[in-house]
Structure 1
Amino acid sequence: MASELDVPLKRVLVPLLLPEKCYDRLFVQWDLLHVPCLKTLLSKGLGLGIVAGSLLVKLPQVFKLLRAKSAEGLSLQSVVLDLVALTGTVVYSVTHGFPFSSWGEALFLMLQTLTICFLVMHYRGQSARGAAFLAFYALLLLGLLSPLTPSAVITLLQASNMPAVVAGKLLQAATNYRNGHTGQLSAITVFLLFGGSLTRIFTSIQETGDYLMAGVFVVSSLCNGLIAAQVLLYWNAKIPGKEPKKEQ
C-alpha cells in the first residue's frame, strides 16, 4: 500500500523529472536499477540544473563590464554570433515543442548575451546604435516565433548554429591571441559555459533525440574549451594601461 508521502512526492516528480511509468518503476516497484528510467531522471535533473544555473552564467561578465566601464578584450562580432546561435536554439526548440529542461538555459543566456551586446556598444560610445540593435532584435525574434515563419527557415537557422558558434569563438580566440590577454572576459562565465555545453550533449540526446541539436553542443564544447584554455594561458597577463598601483 502506498505511503502518505507517495501522492505529494508523485505530484512533484512526475511533471518535473519523470514520466509516470518511471516513477512507478523506481518508487513504487523499487526497481532502482532500471537503466532507461535512471537515464531519464539523470537527464531531467541535469537539464533543470543547467537551466537554473544559466540565470547566473553570464552575470559575472555583465558585472565585470559594468565595474570596469570598459569592453576591452571582447569581440563584438563574437558576442553577436553567440546571440545568433542561442536565438536559433530557442526558436528551434519552441517550434518543435521540446521540453523546457532541454533548452531553457538558452533563453536566459540569450537575454544575458543581448545585454552584453548593448554594453559593448555602449562602452565603445555607440549607445544609440545599441538601442537600435535591441529594437531590431526584438522585432526579428517576434517574426521568427510567428506561425507565419516556414519550418524550413527555422531548421536552417538551427543548422547555421554550428558555423556561427565556430566563427564566434574563433573571433574571440583571435582577439585574445592578438591582445596577449583576455581583457574583461570573465573566467567564471567561460568555465561555466564550457561545463554546461559538455553536459548538454548528453541531455539533448536523451530528451530530444535530435542529433542536429546535440551536434551543436559538441561543436560548442570544443570551442568553449579553446577559450577556457586561453583564459588559463593568459591568467597572469596584464592589460596594457592597467598597471597595478604601487604601494606608497
Structure 2
Amino acid sequence: MEEKMSTSVMDPFKDVLLQYFMPEKCYDEFFLDFNFLHVECLKIVLSKGLGIGIILGSVLVKLPQILKLMGAKSAEGLSFNSILLELLAITGTMAYSIANSFPFSAWGEVLFLMLQTVTIGFLIQHYGGKTIKGIIFLVVYFALVAILLSPMTPLSVVTTMQASNMPAIIFGRLIQAVTNYRNGHTGQLSAISVFLLFAGSLARIFTSIQETGDSLMALTYVISSSCNGIIAAQVLYYWSSGPEALKKKKKKKAE
C-alpha cells in the first residue's frame, strides 16, 4: 500500500522532470541507479535548468527599463536605431528557432524580450513627441512578424535573417555605446536590465550548444555577450554621471 502511495506521489514529479528537465534515460540514471555524477545527464539538466531560468528572468528583464522610462517620462540617452537593430536580431532568432523546431527552453526568452523591446521602442517615440509614429511602428512591426512566421516565408529567408543577426547586434550595440560616449552618461538606460541581458546572453552560449547543436545560434550569443559586455562596462564607468547625478552636483555647486 505504501509503495503504491509513493509511486502515485512520484508520478507527477517524474512527469514534470521528464517534460522540462531531462530525458527518461537521465531520470533512470539519477533516481533508479542513483548515478548522480553522470556527466552527460548533468549537462542536460544544467542546460534545461538554465534555459528555463533565462526564460523566467526574461519576463522581467526589461521591465526596470520600461518603468524607468515611464517614471522619468523621458527616453534621453536611448537610441531608437539601436532598438530597431536589436529587434531585427531578436525577431531573426525567434523565427529561426521556430522554423527549425528548437525546444522552447532554447529560445523562449526572445519572445518576451521582443514584446518588451517593442514597448521600449514605442516609448522612445512617445516621449520624443512622436506618438503617431510610434503607433505606426507597432503596426508595421507586428505585421512583418506575422508574415515572417507564416508558411509563405521560405526557410532560406529565415536563415539569412539569423545570419544577419551578428552585424545587427554589433551595430545596434555600437550605436548605443557611441550615444553613451557622446552624452558622457547612460541617460535613462537601466543598469538592472543591462546586467541581466549580459548574464542571460552568457548563459545562452552554453544552452544553445547543448540543446540545439547549432553553431550559428551559439556564435550569435557569443557576439551578443561581447556587445552586452561593452554596454555593461559603460554603465559601470558612467555610474555617477547620469542625469540625476549631474543635477545633484549642480545643486551642490549652487549652494
Alignment partner of 1:57: what SS? coil
Shift in Å, 1:7: 1.9
Structure 1: give runs of 5+ residues left out of the alignment.
none
2:20 aligns with 16
**Structure 2 residue identity aligned to 1:31:** N
1:205 aligns with 209
Cα distance in 1 for residues equivalent to 2:156 and 2:164: 12
**Larger displacement relative to structure 2 (138-147 or 22-31):** 22-31
Q: 1:26 aligns with which of 30, 33, 37?
A: 30
Structure 2: give runs of 5+ residues left out of the alignment.
none
Following superposition of structure 1 onto structure 2, how do residues 161-240 of structure 1 map, counting pairs within 5 Å? 161-239=165-243
1:116 aligns with 120
In the alignment of these two chains, the number of paired residues is 248
Shift in Å, 1:12: 1.1
Cα distance in 1 for residues equivalent to 2:230 and 2:245: 26
Structure 1 residues 8 and 178 mapped into 2: Cα distance closer, same or farther (>3 Å)? same
TM-score normalised per structure 2: 0.93
User: Is the Cα–Cα contact under 8 Å of residues 186 and 242 in structure 2 kept in the other structure?
Assistant: no
Shift in Å, 1:17: 0.6
Shift in Å, 1:153: 0.1
Alignment partner of 1:7: what SS? helix
**Larger displacement relative to structure 2 (85-94 or 234-243):** 234-243
Following superposition of structure 1 onto structure 2, how do residues 59-98 of structure 1 map, counting pairs within 5 Å? 59-98=63-102
**Structure 1 residue identity aligned to 2:168:** A
Identity of counterpart residues, as a percentage? 60
Q: 2:140 aligns with which of 133, 136, 140?
A: 136
Q: Does 1:43 align with 2:47?
A: yes
Shift in Å, 1:241: 10
Alignment partner of 1:181: what SS? coil
RMSD between superposed Cα atoms in Å? 1.7
**Structure 1 residue identity aligned to 2:198:** F
Alignment partner of 1:74: what SS? coil
Cα distance in 1 for residues equivalent to 2:184 and 2:95: 36
Structure 1 residues 237 and 16 mapped into 2: Cα distance closer, same or farther (>3 Å)? same
Cα distance in 1 for residues equivalent to 2:161 and 2:242: 39
**Larger displacement relative to structure 2 (234-243 or 152-161):** 234-243
